[in-house]
Structure 1
Amino acid sequence: MTAEIDEQPDILAGLVEHRGDIAEVARAIAASPPRFALLAARGSSDHAALYAKYLIEVLLGLPAGLVSPSATTLYGARPDLRDVLLISVSQSGGSPDLLEVTESARKQGALTVAVSNTPSSRLFSAAELAVDVRAGEEHAVAATKTYTATLLALYLLIDAVRGGSGEDVRDIGELARRTLDGSRAGIGRAVDRYRFAGRVLAAARGYSYATALEASLKLAETSYLATRAYSGADLLHGPVAAVDEETAVLAVTSKGRGGAAMGEVLGAVAERGADVLTVGSAASDMPGALHIDVPETAEEVAPVLEVLPVQRLALGLSLARGGDPDNPRGLRKVTKTR
């Protein structure tokens, strides 16, 4: 896990260099403009799909939704998907339910795109179009480099559909290296502070909500922490009542509308005595016990960088709590569901 976290700056830079391959897929999508977009995924890829949902709705102005695979696999639903874009996101390309969803959607008239780190997978051949996230083989059970590469690949795809050139991610590899190097000391302090935590909430708004969900998953699967992730808005709609002095809150707050909307949320949890760690380019602007700053980017790109310190935090907490992040109990690298 340590080695694969450290590979990410080079992987992200390489993906930008090969964005021409992604632009070809984008041109095919733009040639047949969809009226709606659907995204199918599981696990960490589901968080990447949620990120893409925001990108599609905000940058392309299209309605977008997340597929419930069981509607196809368990209940046999076959909706009319003419003029619909289906993007299936799977790091391994090995989940039977996503394969079935993709095959079914194609038969029902959807334009299907597979986004995966495994070009040899059946998912790649099942879809009409495919995007290779080019992260290289990932050995750690906890996805790190495949997650950030998937985020960047989805951004490059959607940006290219709208006619963009990827300008906002031109230096993403360098920014990722600065993020990892610059957050090392802060992560050390956070590990010391939260190694005995019993309950953690992760929260964010907008594009960064995907990062909060991924943070929750990483802490649960590597450190066995009881974690929950909420949109900051949803947190205020009820769950904030359970926040007290025994609660650690990981708040993802990058500059932009989503990060600004977290001010009210953090004020509310601070009133209840929560111990707050803020991560992001707006981290130091927010109330909290600890702050881990991330280089500023366009808001829609921030999730690619925000998650890097979170990965290091999950790794550090796992080791500090006596765990083995490369062998989390009960987990395998590829989870096959239907």
Structure 2
Amino acid sequence: MSEATNRAGNPPGSHMTAEIAEQPQMFSHLLGQRRAIAELAARITERKPRFALLAARGSSDHAALYAKYLIEVLLELPVGLVSPSTTTLYGARPDLTDVLLLSVSQSGGSPDMLEVTETGRRHGATTVAITNNPDSALNDAAEMSVDILAGPEQAVAATKSYSATLLALYLLVDAARGGRGEQAEMIPELAQATLDTSHDAVEEAVRRYRFADRMVTTGRGYSSATAAEAALKLTETSYLSARAYSGADLLHGPVAAVDTETAVLALCSSGKGGEAMRAVLDTVHEHGADICAIGSAAPDVHATHRIGVPSCAEELAPVLEVLPVQRLALGLALARGDDPDSPRGLHKVTHTR
């Protein structure tokens, strides 16, 4: 859509622009709920779950991947990602006694998440809903719930609700290990700094990749979630053919398809995951790809273009590094003459079973 205004009379991308800018303040509001989140975490730890399962779709599925790393690394619990259709289509009813089931849905309106949660609770799971809608059916179905406090989100592409979900999941897992969210206290200020200082580099990236036909996104560790979210954002707003791989998986075959016509968006934040990306990007560089590195470790890797992000604890890096990704998706959509507030054929809630 190339008109000066969209069908609602607003400039294209105005909602997405505003919602990206709201994130630092939103993080401050969410940090104010640390005590309530800690109380919920205490109820969970009292149950001594032996295993965790994560149920989600779309952007929430990428937040669940982030939670998978958090729980496996910080709590040292085994974690699995639910295949909702095993319940909704095939009628599987596994015994979930002593299992923690986290259902992540920004709207709380996904029918398959509702069915998975109801079924899991009936079969012994401790069920927790992570949503942006405390009045949703999913919250009613779960035994416990966390409100991510992102507020109404009008753009179809999730931005602030995604990052709020990440921070809420971090605060929950950190509280479960006995923390008080100390590492996250500076996140609002660091998020504002990220938005302020990355503007010019993002604009340059928009000019650089405006005419790209395909893109590979990649990261390791916690940043794998950002790579997955980046591919979705670029695909749904800019209609790029974008594919996400973990850095390790990229080297196991797909790198053969990377060449001088391939744009690679690499998430590289300080820590073990970012360090592991060095060898990945050395190989990708040898294939001649145009590499855009985003993150606090971006200056330390092979890249054609870099978008820096302030340093923080590695497990919190995805909360910050997704911000320039969102800005890039917004900018590319507008540069291509589309309206990222209303991607073609997409709706805020997808009804699947």
Query: Normalized against structure 1, the TM-score is what?
Result: 1.00
Whole-Å Cα distance in 1 between the matches of residues 251 and 335 of structure 2? 32
Secondary structure, counterpart of 1:227 in structure 2: strand
1:46 paired residue among 27, 51, 61: 61
Q: How many corresponding residue pairs?
A: 338
1:40 deviation in Å?
0.2
Whole-Å Cα distance in 1 between the matches of residues 306 and 73 of structure 2? 28
1:230 paired residue among 207, 220, 245: 245
Moved over 6 A (4+): none
Alignment of 1:48-87 (within 5 A): 48-87=63-102
Whole-Å Cα distance in 2 between the matches of residues 239 and 108 of structure 1? 40
Q: Give the match for residue 146 of structure 1.
A: 161
1:177 paired residue among 185, 192, 209: 192
Whole-Å Cα distance in 2 between the matches of residues 176 and 29 of structure 1? 30
Q: Give the match for residue 326 of structure 2.
A: 311
Whole-Å Cα distance in 1 between the matches of residues 182 and 335 of structure 2? 39
In structure 1, runs of 5+ residues without a counterpart are: none
Secondary structure, counterpart of 1:114 in structure 2: strand
Q: Give the match for residue 292 of structure 2.
A: 277
Whole-Å Cα distance in 2 between the matches of residues 284 and 315 of structure 1? 24
In structure 2, give the amino acid aligned to 1:273: G
Q: Give the match for residue 39 of structure 2.
A: 24
Secondary structure, counterpart of 1:313 in structure 2: helix
Whole-Å Cα distance in 1 between the matches of residues 136 and 226 of structure 2? 27
In structure 1, give the amino acid aligned to 2:95: D
Whole-Å Cα distance in 2 between the matches of residues 256 and 308 of structure 1? 19
1:17 deviation in Å?
1.4
Secondary structure, counterpart of 1:319 in structure 2: helix
Whole-Å Cα distance in 1 between the matches of residues 45 and 20 of structure 2? 34
Alignment of 1:292-331 (within 5 A): 292-331=307-346
Contact 1:102 1:112 in 2 (8 A): yes
Secondary structure, counterpart of 1:181 in structure 2: helix
Whole-Å Cα distance in 1 between the matches of residues 249 and 304 of structure 2? 23
1:64 deviation in Å?
0.2
Within the alignment, does 1:239 sit opposite 2:257 as a pair?
Answer: no
Contact 1:13 1:171 in 2 (8 A): no
Alignment of 1:215-226 (within 5 A): 215-226=230-241
Query: What root-mean-square deviation, in Å, do the aligned CA atoms of Structure 1 and Structure 2 show?
Result: 0.5
In structure 2, give the amino acid aligned to 1:123: L
Whole-Å Cα distance in 1 between the matches of residues 186 and 352 of structure 2? 37
Secondary structure, counterpart of 1:245 in structure 2: coil
1:327 deviation in Å?
1.1
1:270 deviation in Å?
0.6
Whole-Å Cα distance in 2 between the matches of residues 32 and 163 of structure 1? 15
In structure 2, give the amino acid aligned to 1:102: T
Query: Normalized against structure 2, the TM-score is what?
Result: 0.95
Over residues 82-131 of structure 1, what are the superposed CA-to-partner deviations in whole Å (9 max), with x where a residue is unaligned? 00000000000000000000000000000000000000100001000000
Whole-Å Cα distance in 2 between the matches of residues 220 and 164 of structure 1? 37
Within the alignment, does 1:335 sit opposite 2:350 as a pair?
Answer: yes
Within the alignment, does 1:255 sit opposite 2:270 as a pair?
Answer: yes
1:18 deviation in Å?
1.4
1:207 paired residue among 222, 232, 239: 222
Over residues 158-197 of structure 1, what are the superposed CA-to-partner deviations in whole Å (9 max), with x where a residue is unaligned? 0000100100000110110000001000001000000000
Contact 1:213 1:229 in 2 (8 A): yes
